[in-house]
């Protein structure tokens, strides 16, 4: 069981996931842990360096430590800060190596790394379907002695509008998906929905994403065949949050921006292909999920080995209908 902080007051640490979406799904667990500590000891979190700009927004009053390139580079921090307890949400061997100096190390059970942990627990499962990732993280903490928590995102702060945002209402489009091409809808279909929303709601389209999304954004721009603002690779994760916070609507895949829109309580439509909403779907009610269920989905593959039918059979009309419904709820 996670040691009580009452005796020493030394820091406790949570190793958070490396993907933005999973990072956000871990927020209910972070706040549960912080509440359990009740200021008897500080809570530290370790996460990917790319999310450092976003950490003050997602984790106010909690110290964020970017994970260095070498897993052993964290050892001096653990020793100097006298970290008493480390709980790991990632399944990786690397996460276990990062936290070796902590006297208590707990995480999900996985072959080849269990011997590096002082305590491990299996991921929660059910014979009736998937257990949402947010509930898996909460379940791990409960299995390690913390109280039962709810998969509810904390209230976000109010963010200012980006300085270069248009005066008119805009549509934020994220055609990329870092996980792999099996998640990505066809660029011509994106372009079709964009044209219709421009006509029906006079929304100015803005293409957004990280450096890995530049090619996907360029493909949508080419399919659209008319001028469009493309900011892919030009914004930090924090700046993306500001763009989503003031968008009339966000259109994306099962991706980090989807979960960011859910955290910000902003209207969005998220396209699912190879993954499963019951497992990684957005929390809250601000995001509408659209999918075309086929016999081979969810496969959770990064690249489709056959014909990508889960997404090729999802029509622009279906996605447009979801967008119209979400816009009408504003």
Distance CA 197, CA 248 (A): 11
Helix (H, G, I), strand (E, B) or coil at 87: strand
Strand partners, 270: 252, 289
- All structural domains of the chain, each given as residue ranges with its CATH number in brackets, are 12-143 (3.40.50.2000), 170-328 (3.40.50.2000)
> What does the pLDDT read at residue 68?
92
Distance CA 290, CA 274 (A): 12
Q: In Å, what is the CA distance from 190 to each residue of 223, 257, 308, 317, 318?
A: 8, 16, 16, 11, 12
CA-wise closest residue to 56 among 71, 45, 41: 45
Res 330 pLDDT > 70: no
Distance CA 244, CA 303 (A): 28
Strands 12-15 and 43-47 turn out to be parallel
CA-wise closest residue to 43 among 63, 19, 15, 16: 63
Q: Tell me the per-residue pLDDT of 239-285, one tens digit each, with 9 for 90 and over.
A: 999 999 999 999 999 999 999 999 999 999 999 999 999 999 999 99
pTM of the model: 0.95
Q: What is the DSSP letter of 214?
A: H
């Amino acid at each position: 069981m996670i040691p009580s902080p009452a005796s020493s007051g030394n820091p406790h640490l949570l190793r958070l996931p490396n993907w933005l979406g999973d990072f956000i799904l871990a927020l209910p667990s972070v706040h549960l842990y912080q509440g359990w500590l009740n200021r008897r000891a500080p809570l530290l979190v370790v996460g990917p360096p790319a999310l450092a700009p976003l950490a003050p927004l997602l984790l106010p009053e909690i110290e964020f430590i970017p994970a260095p390139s070498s897993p052993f580079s964290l050892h001096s921090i653990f020793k100097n800060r006298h970290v008493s307890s480390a709980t790991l949400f990632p399944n990786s061997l690397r996460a276990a190596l990062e936290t070796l100096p902590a006297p208590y190390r707990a995480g999900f059970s996985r072959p080849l790394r269990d011997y590096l942990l002082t305590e491990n627990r299996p991921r929660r499962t059910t014979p009736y379907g998937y257990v949402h990732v947010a509930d898996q993280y909460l379940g791990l903490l409960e299995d390690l002695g913390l109280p039962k928590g709810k998969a509810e995102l904390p209230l976000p702060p109010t963010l200012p509008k980006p300085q270069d945002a248009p005066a008119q209402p805009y549509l934020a489009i994220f055609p990329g998906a870092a996980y792999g091409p099996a998640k990505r809808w066809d660029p011509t279909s994106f372009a079709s929905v964009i044209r219709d929303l421009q006509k029906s709601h006079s929304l100015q389209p803005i293409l957004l994403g990280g450096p890995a999304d530049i090619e996907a954004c360029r493909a949508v721009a080419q399919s659209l065949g008319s001028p469009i603002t493309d900011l892919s690779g030009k914004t930090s994760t924090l700046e993306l949050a500001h763009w989503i916070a003031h968008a009339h609507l966000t259109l994306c895949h099962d991706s980090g921006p989807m979960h960011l829109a859910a955290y910000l309580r902003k209207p969005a439509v998220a396209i699912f292909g190879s993954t499963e909403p019951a497992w990684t779907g957005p929390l809250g009610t601000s995001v509408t999920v659209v999918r075309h269920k086929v016999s081979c989905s969810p496969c959770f593959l990064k690249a489709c080995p056959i014909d990508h039918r889960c997404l090729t059979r999802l029509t622009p009309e279906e996605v447009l209908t979801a967008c119209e419904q979400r816009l009408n709820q504003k």
